[in-house]
A and B are shown apart, each in its own frame.
Chain A
Amino acid sequence: GESVGLHLPTLSVQEGDNSIINCAYSNSASDYFIWYKQESGKGPQFIIDIRSNMDKRQGQRVTVLLNKTVKHLSLQIAATQPGDSAVYFCAETTGYSTLTFGKGTMLLVSP
């Protein structure tokens, strides 16, 4: 399949562990953020989003934390499974413009 993971930061975890993937964003005017998951050879899939008026949002097994003071975003995945292995991207926008994507982090989950 297509490899998009060359030279990406990589996080290796054991199945059942909690994973934390970090993202530093660049634009202090950004007020909407999205996390995407991309499996090898496929297009990105939406995981969760958060607006700047929130500092935490939870989904199914995932939590996104936003720290606007230091322009930092994190994605926490609880009880990580082998099927979570993928490249994870954060994206930012002011909400009325195009999305700007980060370079991504590869998550490798060992059984």
Chain B
Amino acid sequence: DGGITQSPKYLFRKEGQNVTLSCEQNLNHDAMYWYRQDPGQGLRLIYYSQIVNDFQKGDIAEGYSVSREKKESFPLTVTSAQKNPTAFYLCASSIEMGLYRGSTYEQYFGPGTRLTVT
């Protein structure tokens, strides 16, 4: 059963602590993405990775860090420098980033992690 998994579904942390959100995919996709979603807003891109050992900042990367040591995994660390970390975090993947070879650029999303920092 292929797909993207994110764990845990709910995460609670105290202010000042770093926390790492897990994202794993078994779709053999090259590209992976992290988005943040706040109530009443669309998805905002935090970081993305087109290939293993490479990643790029998205629109709101400040206070976050990522790594891409394996094709299947793209963990996101929310650091204490992130001023408003409470949000719903979504991980996604796609065959590649763009329409270079395919006719579709569908991003497959995981179920999300709700992070609450108090």
Contacts and interface: CB of A to CB of B under 8 A. Distances in A.
Which size bracket describes the interface of B in this complex? 20 to 34
Interface in A1-54: 2-8, 32, 34, 41-46, 49
Contacts, number: 71
Interface string B81-118: 00000001010100001111000111111111010000
A6 B99 contact: no
Nearest to B42: A101
User: Which one of B41, B44, B58, B100 has the highest number of Cβ atoms from chain A below 10 Å of its Cβ?
Assistant: B41
Contact of B98 (A5, A43, A96, A102): A96
Nearest to A42: B111
A7 B43 CA distance: 15
Nearest to A94: B98
Interface string A82-111: 000000010001011111011110000000
Interface of B: 4, 33, 35, 37, 39-45, 48, 58, 88, 90, 92, 97-100, 104-112, 114
